[in-house]
Amino acid sequence: MSPHYQTKKRFGQNFLTDKNIIEQIIRIINPKDSDNLVEIGPGNGALTEKLLTFCPRLWTVEIDRDLVSILKQRFMHYKNFFLIEGNALEINFSTNFAPLPIRVIGNLPYNISTPLVFHLMQHRHVIQDMLFMFQREVVERLYAKPHNKSYGRLTVMVQYFCEVFPMLDVPPEAFQPIPKVNSCFVRLLPRKQIKLSAENELILARLVSTCFQQRRKTLRNSLRKFCSEPDEFFSKINLDLRPDQISVQDYVYLSNQLGALNFDPK
C-alpha cells in the first residue's frame, strides 16, 4: 500500500495483509481458466494480484477514486484486468459482465454486506457462485437454523435462494487496520432448483420482512396484517409459534397461501 494512502472508514476499508490467509482464500476460490470473475472492492489489490494470474477475465468494482487510480497504475498492463469505478450496489450484474455466468467474490466492506447480498439475489440467475469475506456474525445469520437467535430475515431469504458454506474463519489481525470483529470467508451457491418454490418472490420477501419486524410476537399476530382470519388460511402452520421457529419451507407455504388470497405485495 502506498505510504500516502489514508484508509477510509466510510468505505469499510480493512485491507487483507496476512499472506497465509490470502493464499488460503485463493485456494478456496479455486479460479479456473474458464471463470469470469467479478471482484467487489479490490482495495489495493491483495486478492486481485493473485487472481489475475489464474483467470482469463477479472472484473473489479471499486468505489474509492483514490484506490481506482492506484489500481489502474498497478494492473492496467494486464490484458485480463477490467475496472469499473462505482458503487457495487448500483451495478446491474446481469448486463455488465459478459460472458455469463459470473463468479462474484470479495473481501466486502461490512456496511454493505447485507444490502449487497439482497442486490445479488436479484441477479442470481447469472451467478455461478459468490465467495465473500463477511463479519463472522453475518455468516452466523446466513447459516442459522430455526430456534437460533441468529435466524432472521437474511437467513430465510438467502437460504431460499442459495446453499451456504462457511469456508474459513479469519482473525482480526489478518487485516490492516485491525477490525474489532472476527470475520469468515463464506461461499453462497445459488440453488439450481428450489424444492418448494414461492409462486411470487415479492410476496415471500414482504411476508418474511413483516414477520421478523415483530420477532417476539406470534405468527398469528403478524399475519393479521395480511388477513383477518389467519388460522383459516394458514392451517398447516402452528400460528402460536414465533417467526424464528418455522423453517424456510414453512415461509414458502405461508407466502403461497397469501398469493392465493390475491395479496398484492407492492
DSSP string over 186-231: EEEEE-SS-SS--S-HHHHHHHHHHHHHTTTS-HHHHHTTT-S-HH
Site for ligand SAM in 96-155 (CB under 6 A): 107, 109, 112
Total number of residues binding ligand SAM (CB under 6 A)? 23
Site for ligand SAM in 44-63 (CB under 6 A): 46-47, 61-63
Indicate the residue among 63 and 154 with the shorter CB distance to ligand SAM.
Answer: 63
For residues 193 and 182, the answer to whether their CB atoms sit within 8 Å is no
- Can you name the residues that pair with 58 across neighbouring β-strands? 37, 81
DSSP string over 67-114: HHHHHHHHHTT-TTEEEEES-GGG--TTTSSPSSPEEEEEE--GGGHH
Minimum distance of ligand SAM from residue 56's CB (angstroms): 20
What DSSP designation does 241 have?
A: S
Query: Which of 64, 129, 244, 250 touches ligand SAM by CB under 6 A?
Result: 64
Binding mask 82-101 for ligand SAM (x = CB under 6 A): -----xxx------------
The residue whose Cβ lies closest to ligand SAM is: 41
For ligand SAM, the binding residues (CB under 6 A) are 11-16, 40-43, 46-47, 61-64, 67, 87-89, 107, 109, 112
